[in-house]
Amino acid sequence: MEYDFNNIERYWQKYWKTHQTFQADDITEKIKYYVLDMFPYPSGAGLHIGHPLGYIASDIYARHKRAEGYHVLHPIGFDSFGLPAEQYAIQTGQHPAKTTEINIQRYKEQLSKLGFSFDWSREFRTSDPSYYRWTQWIFIQLFNSWYDQEAQRARPIESLIEAFEKNGNQTIKAAGTTTNPFTAEEWKNSTKAKKEIILQNYRLAFRSKATVNWCPELGTVLANDEVKDRKSERGGYPVYQKEMVQWSMRITAYAERLLKGLDEIDWPEALKESQSYWIGKSFGARIRFELTKGNSIEIFTTRPDTIFGTTFMVLAPEHPIVNQITTAEHRLAVEAYIEEIKKRSELERLSDVKNVSGQFTGAYTLHPFTGKKLPLYLSDYVLANYGTGAIMAVPAHDSRDHRFAKRFGLEILEVISGGSDVQTEAHETKEGYCIHSDFLNKLEVKVAIKKAIEKIEEKGIGQGMINYRLRDAVFSRQRYWGEPIPIYYKKGIAVPLPEQKLPLLLPDIDKYIPTEEGEPPLRRAKAWAWDEKQQKVVNNELMDEIQVFLLDTNTMPGWAGSSWYFLRYMNPKNEERFVNQQAENYWQNVDLYIGGAEHATGHLLYARFWHKFLKDRDWVSTEEPFKKLINQGMILGNSAFVARVNGTKKFISAGLVKNQDVQELHIDIQLLKHGDELDVEKFKKWRPEFAEAELILEGGKFFCRRKVEKMSKSKYNVINPDEICEKYGADTLRMYEMFLGSLEQSKPWNTQGIIGVHQFLRKFWRLFHSTGVFHTDQEPPTAEESKVLHQAIKKIRKDIENLSFNTSVSAFMIAVNALTALKCCKRIILEPLVILIAPFAPHIAEALWQRLGHEDSVSLARIPNHDPQHLVEEIIEYPVMFNGKLRFKAHFQANIPTTEIEQQILKYPKIQDYLNGKTLKKIIIIPKKVINIVL
């Protein structure tokens, strides 16, 4: 009976669907295990074989945990709001909901062909109103919360208002924008509007003027991680810096907890490092420098010990004091400089070390210790929203300051001893100042910094300060295809919708582009006003600013819906709450999370932030959302190129390309015959522009250059999993993807290699069909057969636990080869192997399991344990003869070499007795039989 994988796979995929085999109960007595893949965004291109790599790994692990007796949650859903669908809608006029639906159906079809054990009953999409209703709800909770730095947690905004009513903002320690001090009286006497402006400084979701990445072509603001080299990541359109009123999330309040939390979680070190770098904690001091005119400027430094080397000061061009201090003489030049800087993004400003730019303001400050006059410059290497937006420049010890001093001819001063205590201390660690120096003694510098801070505090000119690089996250997007922000504006004050009136549904509009006035697409909606009395959305014409008000026209960013989706899977149908408490208490958080490394500082920071916030407000019980995380590597494609002589229709075969002026073009790998040879006919038909191509051949053939690179539709190097499944089966594909190499590594795809894995599965099948039909026998196993089985169990279980799937596949191969050689068809040996292989190749396992007479799915069977007894080496009893006479018996392991036996036997005490002074001539050993000693 042949291994008919196509039928087997179809049959079992249907079986799992109709029996809901992988549906998890909400709560059971069993111990839970939660395995999650990063939320897929269903793009129009469908899946290529690189995409399922992580899903296969997580599926193997989920199935394995089930077989170990855990109650496993392994859900799937779709991150379905986002820019590509909207861009497509703009081009074609089709509603993004429609294209999204088509893409999701395609994804689902492709995924179900791969045999994943997802609990499909929990599926949802971020664009479902029943889901985004809760995203909007969380937004309102953030809006209604502030961060209490004393308690180190978020609290309801009412408690802040209470505190203001009692003591103003004098006693409260809250995360927020710097706010002028006010008393309880002043608070009480403030207007509602004034109060709201103040509260915006503390709310965790707040509105403020922010410099944002503005992309006119896309008509929207982009997050830092959506911008690459001043261009939008999607589409490659230019991005400019612009100041706009935007919603932001006060993630900075959580900087310290986000950093500390990294110690608790089992994530790749590289990922933790990039999060910790992104959070960027620096210790230092804030120091006040008096301006000659009476004003003062605060700087932030991590090296207060170098203060005596300060020879000038630099402000960020956007610093609010610039206008006030610039002298008439320099005003024009300063204004021109500020205009110029607007074009550059923060990243560019920081990374550009070659082009030093700056402008003198005409103003001076006084050195707080020496009283020396220090010129005040503007330069774009100082960022407005980092530290205090101002620095003391120490050109002898800081490379950026050094370049600046050189460019503008400013003094470079090594710290000189004498004078104040700070100076003496500083001098003692002089070598340490040079940030380039290899002999920088960290401990000494630390001590010097500490002492410098003490002196600065004593003198009352500043204090120690911790600074974070992390910025608040801009949250509004001027896009259509996202969650509407559930806010309306009453006389300029942002008011949230009543929670029980959520969701605020995304309205239909005529075009998915900004209005003629440049307002976001939602402003096109005919009914986008909130009637406070009727508590519903009404026609814009009814807007009267008394009862009916305009709703927010922004939508949420892509990361909103993906910041809490793992919680919704615990209890996806709940209409009362985003997740019910019991379900959350049971499932807690994700035990194993698998996904790409590109989410290191976006999704994974935002999700941790929201989770911590929900914990603070007692809606969830854990501090971290993802306990263990693995970044799967990429499967790379093998691209093919043809070389075209520039400006002609002439193409040169790869081996003939020398110094000609050619341009290399990606071509579809489907156009190749075998190896690197081009199918010329197909090529000419592929694109009209190639129809008349003139091909210069090598030995009658045309060859392409190949290159291993990222698999992508745009590089025409994708391999479609559907085709592989059709040809070899999903089980082969699953095992092959794992066999390619360790999960975390990137590795090239090679379709030829798949045959080996396919043959292996056929061999496995044949163990059960040695007579042509299904057949196993009931004989007890030999020691050798048991050893093969138990070795496999031991190794494979250990490898799966370590997520080392490639080595598990090899272990299967070794076991199957050994059993084939032993002609083993014993049930007692083969049956446990079926359970063992089921996580990797679930279809074939189910088919064999059924033939073995089981009625239930193999996924309900418990994984076997290895029995150490069978792993003990076989011991051979050797008769030891002296000149052919049996004298005694000795024991040796079956597989040790004869030379070893020879050495060991001579150490036997009995040998000396029988030698009895005679000389030994020879030892003859017949392996596993006899030892003969010739005297």
Residues in contact with ligand ANZ by CB under 6 A are 282, 300-303, 306, 316, 381-383, 386-387, 389, 391-392, 394, 397-398, 433, 435, 467
Least CB distance to ligand ANZ at residue 374 (A):
13
Smallest separation, CB 210 to ligand ANZ (Å): 16
State which residue, 101 or 298, has the beta carbon closest to ligand ANZ.
Answer: 298
Rounded to an integer, what distance in angstroms lies between the CA atom of residue 156 and that of residue 619?
13
Which of 499, 451, 541, 394 lies closest to 143, judged by CA? 499
The one-character DSSP state at 890 is E
Residues 6 or more apart whose Cβ sits within 8 Å of residue 677? 701, 702, 703, 704
Closer residue to ligand ANZ, CB minimum distance, 301 or 786: 301
User: Can you read off the two tokens belonging to residue 728?
Assistant: 């070899």
Phi, psi dihedrals of residue 539, rounded to the nearest 5°: -65, 145
Cβ neighbours of residue 354 under 8 Å, at least 6 residues apart? none
CB 458 within 8 A of CB 343: no
Strand, coil or helix: 287: strand
Whole-angstrom distance, CA of residue 486 vs CA of residue 504: 6
Closer Cβ to ligand ANZ, 73 or 382, answer by number: 382
Task: Tell me the closest approach of the beta carbon of residue 310 to ligand ANZ, in angstroms.
Answer: 7
Residues in the chain: 935
- Looking at the Cβ atoms of 400 and 866, the one nearer to ligand ANZ is 400
Strand 650-652 with 694-696, pairing: parallel
Shortest spacing between CB 303 and ligand ANZ, in angstroms? 4
User: What order do you get walking across the sheet with 626-631 strand by strand?
Assistant: 71-73, 32-37, 590-595, 626-631
Q: Report the nearest approach of ligand ANZ to the CB of residue 537 (Å).
A: 44
Q: Residue 740 CB, nearest distance to ligand ANZ (Å)?
A: 40
Q: 835: which residues sit within 8 A by CB, 6+ positions away?
A: 67, 845, 849, 858, 861, 862, 863, 864
Instruction: Specify burial of residue 161 (Cβ count, 10 A radius: 0-12, 13-18, 19+).
Output: middle
What is the closest distance, in whole angstroms, from the C-beta atom of residue 414 to ligand ANZ in the complex?
Answer: 11
DSSP 527-547: S-EEETTTTEEE-GGG--SSS
Distance in Å, CB of 302 to ligand ANZ, minimum: 4
Question: H or E stretch including 758?
Answer: helix 754-767
Cβ 338 to ligand ANZ shortest distance, Å: 16
DSSP state of 176: S
Q: Taking the CB of residue 858, how many other CB atoms lie within 10 A of it?
A: 24
Give min distance, CB of 868 to ligand ANZ, in A: 55
Asked whether the bond before 503 is cis by omega within 30 degrees of 0, the reply is yes
Q: Write down the least CB distance from residue 279 to ligand ANZ, Å.
A: 12
723, 114 contact by CB (below 8 A): no
Q: Give all strands (DSSP E) within 724-857, no chain letters.
A: 747-748
Q: How far is the CB of 447 from ligand ANZ (least distance, A)?
A: 16
Cβ distance 492 to 193 under 8 Å? yes
Query: Is 73 or 449 the residue whose CB approaches ligand ANZ more closely?
Result: 449
Give the tokens for residue 708. 């291993």
Measured at the CA of 302, the angle between CA 288 and CA 373, to 5 degrees, comes to 40
**C-beta closer to ligand ANZ: residue 77 or 389:** 389
Asked if residue 290 lies in contact with residue 296, where contact means CB atoms within 8 angstroms, the answer is: yes
Residue with tokens 């590289």: 270
CB-nearer residue toward ligand ANZ: 12 or 386: 386
Q: Which of 254, 218, 272, 242 is nearest to 83 (CA)?
A: 218
Query: Is 435 or 881 the residue whose CB approaches ligand ANZ more closely?
Result: 435
Q: Minimum distance between the CB of residue 435 and ligand ANZ, rounded to whole angstroms?
A: 5
Contacts of 160 (CB under 8 A, 6+ apart): 146, 172, 174, 199, 202
Q: Which lies closer to ligand ANZ via its Cβ, residue 204 or residue 391?
A: 391
Taking the least distance from each CB to ligand ANZ, the nearer of 433 and 566 is: 433
Residue entry with tokens 């052919």:
884
Shortest approach of ligand ANZ to residue 371 CB, angstroms?
19
Residue 413 three-state SS: coil
CB of 352 to ligand ANZ, least distance (A): 13
If DSSP codes are grouped into helix, strand and coil, which group holds residue 928? Answer: coil
Closest alpha carbon to 668 in 695, 640, 642: 640
| Minimum CB distance to ligand ANZ smaller for 332 or for 466 | 466
Q: 122: which 2 tokens?
A: 């929990």
Closest among 322, 348, 354 to 335, alpha carbons compared: 322
Whether the Cβ atoms of residue 49 and residue 720 lie closer than 8 Å to each other = yes
Which two tokens mark 753?
């290699």
For ligand ANZ, the closer of residues 328 and 443 by Cβ is 443
Find the shortest distance in angstroms from Cβ 177 to ligand ANZ: 16
Token pair 């999607």: residue = 234
The whole-angstrom separation of Cα 497 and Cα 504 is: 8
Give the ranges where 517-665 is alpha helix by DSSP (H): 558-561, 565-568, 581-587, 603-616
Smallest gap, in angstroms, from Cβ of residue 316 to ligand ANZ? Answer: 6
Identity of the residue, 461 or 583, whose beta carbon is nearer to ligand ANZ in the bound complex:
461
Task: State which residue, 90 or 383, has the beta carbon closest to ligand ANZ.
Answer: 383
Nearer to ligand ANZ, 310 or 562 (CB): 310
The β-bridge partners of 105 are: none
| Closer CB to ligand ANZ, 153 or 397, in the complex | 397
Q: What are phi and psi of 694, to 5 degrees?
A: -105, 120
Which residue number, 381 or 764, has a Cβ lying nearer to ligand ANZ?
381
Residue 760 and residue 762: Cα distance in Å, rounded?
5
Closer CB to ligand ANZ, 444 or 532, in the complex: 444
Least separation, in Å, of the C-beta of 34 and ligand ANZ?
37
